[in-house]
């Protein structure tokens, strides 16, 4: 354990800047290490203040000298407080760099991308567990990475662009970029800065490490590059594992292709055998992540697909191309500036009706240039019930998919995308009573 905790003394005086999910994970971890830390948060929640009080961590002071500041992903890298702390000599890192520093012997697979990184993370961990490794996922996906590092034989880490802005010294034996599109320009300001943050995933890699990317993506890296094709579920040596058509519903072939290469690379890194039959069986038993293109209800030949997290152009485009047409597409929430032109192309010949809801739904529907109707309601649950009903009525004579891939963020009506997805799921399931009514009653 002493070797595992090498570098602990280097942290010096620690400030946790920003609590929330990530910051609470940092606080719990430091406490288990027997370390003290100060904390700062402009708007701490009750759960935050209760935890730091229980741990005996006191409030910080920007005038106090700190050696290490562990900043939450949601805090911009150019936040004035962080710039001031850095100017005073503090090193600014995040929870992932902290984990790598204090658990240097723990193998980690890092996974990033504009879309698909969460689903790929879960799938990689599932494949490795099937191969006999105690693999646990964490990071941008629940739980925080620091909550699992002492229970995992391998950590499979979903990495957002925010987290990748502060990972000094991180070296990953295996890294994955699922794709690169455009997102979070409100934070990164330019596409180039956003991509640069994503590409930090390979900054510390060497020629002995593996970087997995989609075919056609050119990346400057010292690592060995392995490219995947979205419809080729094969290993690096070309061995076929499973036809894409045999994947369970809700498992995207591109995510599966990337996950296979990542699992193989990590197994080889650890000196383990790669068993094609075991990997094939694991793929067949894989379950989609809740809230990622999940079929949550069926009424006759109409399926309701919940993809509330789909607010990035690449993710929405993938959902439109995967859903069985004709599609009633639920669009709404708060506009985050997603690029709409590729979505118009993906929707052509597949979407028969856009159901617009929420703060900017109608505006986005108009820009898409597709037939649409607007639904409203008293609160988020009623709005999504009305939207699900409108989608069902648009498809009741033909069948097809009522797809929640909303483009907009959830914060106009819900606390987060999970709450929005759960509301849609409940709405869809409640519509079974509507399906049982005589047609004239629904007219």
Question: Which tokens sit at 274?
Answer: 């790669």
Strand bridging mode 210-214 / 327-332: unpaired
Phi and psi at residue 405, to the nearest 5°: -135, 80
- Alpha carbon 84 to its chain's center: 31
- Give binding residues for ATP as ranges: 113-119
Question: Which tokens sit at 443?
Answer: 């007219």
For residue 91, the SS3 value is: strand
DSSP 159: -
- The overall longest dimension of the chain from CA atoms, in Å, is 74
Phi and psi at residue 179, to the nearest 5°: -175, 170
Phi and psi at residue 343, to the nearest 5°: -75, -35
Whole-angstrom distance, CA of residue 307 vs CA of residue 176: 22
Measured between alpha carbons, how far is residue 187 from residues 86, 107, 339 in Å? Answer: 20, 30, 16
Phi and psi at residue 181, to the nearest 5°: -125, -140
- Alpha carbon 25 to its chain's center: 18
- Give binding residues as ranges: 113-119
DSSP 58: P
CA nearest 200: which of 251, 163, 227, 146? 163
């Amino acid at each position: 354990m002493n070797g595992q905790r090498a570098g602990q003394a280097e942290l010096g005086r620690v400030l946790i800047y920003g609590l929330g999910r990530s910051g609470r994970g940092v606080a719990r971890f430091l406490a288990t290490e027997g370390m003290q830390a100060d904390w700062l948060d402009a708007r701490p929640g009750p759960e935050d203040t209760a935890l730091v009080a229980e741990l005996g961590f006191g409030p910080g002071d920007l005038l106090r000298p700190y050696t290490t500041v562990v900043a939450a992903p949601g805090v911009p890298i150019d936040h004035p407080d962080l710039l001031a702390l850095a100017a005073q000599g503090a090193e600014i890192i995040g929870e992932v760099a902290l984990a790598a520093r204090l658990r240097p012997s723990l193998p980690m697979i890092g996974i990033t991308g504009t879309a698909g990184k969460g689903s790929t993370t879960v799938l990689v961990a599932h494949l490795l567990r099937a191969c006999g490794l105690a693999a646990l996922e964490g990071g941008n996906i629940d739980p925080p990475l620091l909550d699992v590092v002492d229970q995992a034989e391998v950590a499979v880490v979903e990495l957002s662009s925010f987290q990748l802005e502060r990972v000094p010294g991180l070296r990953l034996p295996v890294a994955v970029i699922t794709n690169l599109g455009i997102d979070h320009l409100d934070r990164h300001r330019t596409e180039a800065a956003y991509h640069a943050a994503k590409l930090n995933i390979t900054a510390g890699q060497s020629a002995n490490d593996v970087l997995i990317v989609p075919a056609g993506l050119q990346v400057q890296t010292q690592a060995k590059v392995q490219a995947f094709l979205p419809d080729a579920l094969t290993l690096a040596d070309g061995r076929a594992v499973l036809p894409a058509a045999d994947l369970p519903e809700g498992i995207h072939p591109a995510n599966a292709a990337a996950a296979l290469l990542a699992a193989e690379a990590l197994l080889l890194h650890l000196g383990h055998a790669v068993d094609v039959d075991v990997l094939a069986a694991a793929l067949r038993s894989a379950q989609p992540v809740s809230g990622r293109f999940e079929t949550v209800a069926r009424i006759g030949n109409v399926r309701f697909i919940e993809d509330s997290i789909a607010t990035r152009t690449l993710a929405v485009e993938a959902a439109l191309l995967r859903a069985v047409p004709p599609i009633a597409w639920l669009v709404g929430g708060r506009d985050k500036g997603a690029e709409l032109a590729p979505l118009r192309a993906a929707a052509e010949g597949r979407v028969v009706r856009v159901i617009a809801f929420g703060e900017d739904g109608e505006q986005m529907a108009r820009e898409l240039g597709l037939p649409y109707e607007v639904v409203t309601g008293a609160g988020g649950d009623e709005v999504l019930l009305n939207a699900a009903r409108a989608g069902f009525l648009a498809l009741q004579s033909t069948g097809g998919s009522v797809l929640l891939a909303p483009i907009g963020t959830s914060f106009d009506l819900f606390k987060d995308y999970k709450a929005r997805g759960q509301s849609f799921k409940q709405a869809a399931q409640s519509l079974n009573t509507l399906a049982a009514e005589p047609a004239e009653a629904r007219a």
